[in-house]
Amino acid sequence: MGIEERIRKGFYPLFEREPFKLRLEVLLDILSSGEKDLKEIVKSWPEVYQKKFKKVVECGITDERYLLSMALLYASKKGIVKRMNLEGNTSVNEAYKTIVKESKGLKKEVLKAGKKLWEIYEEKAKESKVDLKEYFSTRFWIEVEV
Protein backbone atom coordinates (compact mmCIF):
# COMPACT_ATOMS: atom_id res chain seq x y z
CA MET A 1 0.00 0.00 0.00
CA GLY A 2 1.51 3.36 -1.08
CA ILE A 3 1.66 6.59 0.91
CA GLU A 4 -1.30 8.19 -0.88
CA GLU A 5 -3.47 5.11 -0.36
CA ARG A 6 -2.51 4.90 3.32
CA ILE A 7 -3.36 8.58 3.77
CA ARG A 8 -6.72 8.20 1.98
CA LYS A 9 -7.64 5.22 4.12
CA GLY A 10 -6.59 7.04 7.30
CA PHE A 11 -3.79 4.63 8.18
CA TYR A 12 -1.11 7.27 8.12
CA PRO A 13 -0.33 9.04 11.40
CA LEU A 14 0.07 12.81 11.32
CA PHE A 15 3.83 12.52 11.57
CA GLU A 16 6.01 9.67 10.37
CA ARG A 17 9.74 10.06 9.72
CA GLU A 18 9.84 10.49 5.92
CA PRO A 19 6.56 12.41 5.51
CA PHE A 20 7.63 14.80 8.30
CA LYS A 21 10.82 15.55 6.37
CA LEU A 22 8.81 16.25 3.20
CA ARG A 23 6.29 18.38 5.09
CA LEU A 24 9.12 20.35 6.67
CA GLU A 25 10.68 20.89 3.24
CA VAL A 26 7.42 22.39 1.99
CA LEU A 27 7.18 24.64 5.05
CA LEU A 28 10.73 25.89 4.43
CA ASP A 29 9.83 26.60 0.79
CA ILE A 30 6.82 28.66 1.87
CA LEU A 31 8.85 30.55 4.49
CA SER A 32 11.71 31.22 2.06
CA SER A 33 9.22 32.75 -0.38
CA GLY A 34 8.86 35.57 2.14
CA GLU A 35 5.34 34.69 3.31
CA LYS A 36 4.77 36.22 6.74
CA ASP A 37 1.05 35.66 7.24
CA LEU A 38 0.67 32.59 9.45
CA LYS A 39 -2.91 31.99 8.31
CA GLU A 40 -1.74 32.08 4.69
CA ILE A 41 1.09 29.63 5.47
CA VAL A 42 -1.40 27.24 7.05
CA LYS A 43 -3.90 27.68 4.19
CA SER A 44 -1.44 27.32 1.29
CA TRP A 45 0.53 24.40 2.73
CA PRO A 46 -1.48 21.46 1.22
CA GLU A 47 -1.56 23.03 -2.24
CA VAL A 48 2.21 23.71 -2.24
CA TYR A 49 2.85 20.16 -1.01
CA GLN A 50 0.72 18.71 -3.79
CA LYS A 51 2.49 20.78 -6.47
CA LYS A 52 5.94 19.88 -5.19
CA PHE A 53 5.47 16.15 -4.62
CA LYS A 54 2.49 15.39 -6.89
CA LYS A 55 0.81 13.76 -3.90
CA VAL A 56 -2.44 14.56 -2.16
CA VAL A 57 -2.02 15.03 1.56
CA GLU A 58 -4.91 15.50 3.93
CA CYS A 59 -2.79 16.17 6.99
CA GLY A 60 0.47 17.89 7.73
CA ILE A 61 2.02 20.91 9.35
CA THR A 62 -1.16 22.85 8.64
CA ASP A 63 -1.88 23.90 12.17
CA GLU A 64 -0.44 26.98 13.84
CA ARG A 65 0.29 24.98 17.01
CA TYR A 66 3.05 23.17 15.10
CA LEU A 67 4.41 26.43 13.68
CA LEU A 68 4.46 27.93 17.18
CA SER A 69 6.18 24.81 18.51
CA MET A 70 8.98 25.11 15.95
CA ALA A 71 9.46 28.77 16.84
CA LEU A 72 9.60 27.92 20.56
CA LEU A 73 12.02 25.04 19.96
CA TYR A 74 14.31 27.40 18.04
CA ALA A 75 14.10 30.11 20.71
CA SER A 76 14.77 27.68 23.56
CA LYS A 77 17.76 26.06 21.76
CA LYS A 78 19.28 29.48 21.02
CA GLY A 79 18.78 30.74 24.59
CA ILE A 80 16.26 33.42 23.59
CA VAL A 81 13.58 31.89 25.80
CA LYS A 82 14.74 31.52 29.38
CA ARG A 83 11.68 29.64 30.60
CA MET A 84 8.40 28.47 29.13
CA ASN A 85 5.31 26.84 30.54
CA LEU A 86 2.99 25.27 28.00
CA GLU A 87 0.72 23.58 30.54
CA GLY A 88 -1.94 26.28 30.10
CA ASN A 89 -2.61 25.07 26.57
CA THR A 90 -2.56 21.28 26.29
CA SER A 91 -2.83 21.25 22.49
CA VAL A 92 0.26 23.48 22.14
CA ASN A 93 2.05 21.33 24.73
CA GLU A 94 1.27 18.16 22.75
CA ALA A 95 2.30 19.80 19.47
CA TYR A 96 5.60 20.90 21.05
CA LYS A 97 6.33 17.37 22.28
CA THR A 98 5.56 16.03 18.79
CA ILE A 99 7.90 18.53 17.13
CA VAL A 100 10.69 17.75 19.62
CA LYS A 101 10.26 14.02 18.97
CA GLU A 102 9.98 14.29 15.19
CA SER A 103 12.84 16.77 14.80
CA LYS A 104 15.47 14.17 15.71
CA GLY A 105 17.73 13.92 12.68
CA LEU A 106 16.15 17.04 11.18
CA LYS A 107 17.35 19.59 13.78
CA LYS A 108 18.96 21.90 11.21
CA GLU A 109 15.80 22.16 9.12
CA VAL A 110 13.48 22.53 12.13
CA LEU A 111 15.69 25.26 13.61
CA LYS A 112 15.82 27.05 10.24
CA ALA A 113 12.02 27.04 10.03
CA GLY A 114 11.79 27.94 13.73
CA LYS A 115 14.02 30.98 13.25
CA LYS A 116 11.84 32.36 10.46
CA LEU A 117 8.68 31.62 12.45
CA TRP A 118 10.14 33.25 15.59
CA GLU A 119 10.80 36.42 13.56
CA ILE A 120 7.18 36.38 12.40
CA TYR A 121 5.96 36.11 16.02
CA GLU A 122 8.26 38.98 17.05
CA GLU A 123 6.75 41.07 14.27
CA LYS A 124 3.20 40.12 15.33
CA ALA A 125 3.95 41.20 18.90
CA LYS A 126 5.33 44.55 17.67
CA GLU A 127 2.23 45.08 15.52
CA SER A 128 0.09 44.39 18.59
CA LYS A 129 2.23 46.88 20.58
CA VAL A 130 2.96 44.32 23.30
CA ASP A 131 6.04 42.38 24.35
CA LEU A 132 6.44 38.73 23.37
CA LYS A 133 5.57 37.49 26.85
CA GLU A 134 2.18 39.23 26.76
CA TYR A 135 1.58 38.27 23.12
CA PHE A 136 2.08 34.56 23.78
CA SER A 137 0.07 34.75 26.99
CA THR A 138 -2.98 36.37 25.41
CA ARG A 139 -2.80 34.65 22.02
CA PHE A 140 -1.95 31.08 23.09
CA TRP A 141 -2.39 30.95 26.89
CA ILE A 142 1.23 29.96 27.43
CA GLU A 143 3.95 31.50 29.59
CA VAL A 144 7.19 32.44 27.86
CA GLU A 145 10.00 34.34 29.57
CA VAL A 146 12.31 36.02 27.07
The residues spanned by each domain of the chain are: 3-145
What sign results for the dihedral spanned by CA atoms 101, 104, 109, 115?
positive
Measured CA to CA, the distance from residue 15 to residue 28 in angstroms comes to: 17
pTM, two decimals, is 0.80
Name the residue with higher pLDDT: 16 or 139.
139
* Sequence-separated contacts (24+) of 45-53 with Cβ below 8 Å: 49/22, 49/23, 52/25, 52/26, 53/22, 53/26
Cα 43 to Cα 22, 27, 36, 99, distances in angstroms = 17, 12, 12, 20
- Mean pLDDT value of segment 7-11: 49
Report the SS3 class of residue 103: coil
Report the SS3 class of residue 129: coil
Res. 14: pLDDT tops 70: no
For residue range 41-76, what is the model confidence (pLDDT) as tens digits? 888 877 888 888 777 665 556 678 889 999 999 999
- Residue 143 pairs in a beta bridge with 85
For residue range 97-125, what is the model confidence (pLDDT) as tens digits? 989 988 888 889 999 999 999 999 999 99
